[in-house]
Structure 1
Amino acid sequence: MDHSAHHTPTAHDHATHQAGNGRSGASWSTAAKATLHCLTGCAIGEILGMAIGTALLWGNVPTMILAITLAFIFGYSFTLFAVRRAGLDFKSAVKVALAADTVSIAVMELVDNAIIALTPGAMDAHLSDGLFWSALLGGFAVAFLITTPVNKWMIGRGKGHAVVHAYH
């Protein structure tokens, strides 16, 4: 009896398929899509946190903590909702979201916030200042460029965002 018809796809199966049987790693397209997915959630949380902290005249540290916290929450929530929609129970969906996005979000937040913190005057800029937005958006662009190869490497090994693809 052929049991292959009853095989449930796993993250490793998807990553191996994406990687051309594991020899060449995940495609740049797959990595870029995963990074863009992560960046979308991070950007929403980061912008919201920076805007709230700046509008409330909070200091740099509390504003960055809020922005980073919201970036993780929104970043995880996109994956969480997608895998819940695919039929996973909440506990399993949380595990998938954590496995899929933690490294990607962490790298993205580290790079983005380092750029904002190191851009002279950016942390003291107001919402109406071009410097505020250029540092924030420039940080996202650089974070995308740095995080995409990280995601490519992880997906090619069946880790990170590859675990989500078993449910799509």
Structure 2
Amino acid sequence: MDHQHQHHQHHHAHSAHAPADRSWRTAAQATLHCLTGCAVGEILGLVVGTALGLHNGATVALSVGLAFAFGYALTMRGMLRAGLDLGRAFRVALAADTVSIAVMELIDTGTVLAVPGAMDAGLGDTLFWASLAAALLLAFLVTVPVNRWLIGRGRGHAVVHAQH
């Protein structure tokens, strides 16, 4: 077995058998990072959509679109700081965050839509903010195990860590 192959084997074995608490912590950090971008985009979309009096469908589409944009942007910012060019940073962000953001948005948006009156509540309404906070928390709790599973298979945010 040559040295390079041996190194790859060692690296793969190390990542596959990382201590459980460490991989959960990594997954939680990746999810929190993703949630930050998603929350900023989503809140902005809901605020703008509600303020402009857009139809619920348009508001949700705007929120989800902005959630993806901000989620990718946060990951790309770290990659650009690490010295990657824009195209590579974007590809890493796509690989790292697409599944995570999609799961998060599905849970999050689904929860807000499921709360009676939440989408029709105004920005000054407690129901609006309470349902959004509950949706983000639920999305976080569902997405952490998804991210842990992805990282354990060398996908998701494992792609980001491979760049450092």
TM value normalised by structure 2:
0.90
**Greater helix percent: which structure?**
2
Assess if the C-alpha contact under 8 Å between 1:49 and 1:64 holds in 2.
yes
In 1, Cα distance between equivalents of 2:145 and 2:32: 12
Q: CA deviation at 1:64?
A: 0.3
Partner of residue 77 from structure 1, selected from 73, 77, 88 = 73
- Kindly state the Cα deviation for residue 125 of structure 1 after the two structures are TM-superposed: 0.3
> Corresponding residue for 1:101?
97
Deviations 1:123-143 (A, max 9, x none): 000000000001111000000
Quick one: which of 120, 137, 141 aligns to 1:141?
A: 137
Check if 1:163 corresponds to 2:163: no
Partner of 1:17: 14
Aligned mate of 2:121, from 121, 125, 134: 125
Of the candidates 21, 46, 50, which is equivalent to residue 50 of structure 1? Answer: 46
Deviation of 1:20 after TM superposition, in Å, equals 2.4
Q: Unaligned 5+ residue runs, structure 2?
A: none
SS at match of 1:27: helix
* Contact 1:41 1:78 (C-alpha < 8 Å) held by counterparts: yes
Question: Over residues 97-142 of structure 1, what are the superposed CA-to-partner deviations in whole Å (9 max), with x where a residue is unaligned?
Answer: 0000000000000000000000000000000000000111100000
Supply the AA of the counterpart residue of 2:67: A
Aligned residue pairs, count: 160
Shift of 1:167: 2.4
Instruction: Say which of 53, 59, 62 aligns to 1:63.
Output: 59
Which residue, out of 1, 23, 30, partners 1:27?
23
2:45 maps to amino acid: G
Choose between structure 1 and 2 for higher RCO, CA contacts under 8 A separated by at least 6 residues.
Answer: 1
Computed over aligned residues only, the root mean square deviation of the Cα atoms, in angstroms, reads: 2.4
- Contact 1:53–1:62 (CA<8 Å) still a contact in 2? yes
* Percentage identity across paired residues of the two chains: 59
Letter of the 1:78 counterpart = L
Cα drift, residue 19 of structure 1? 3.8
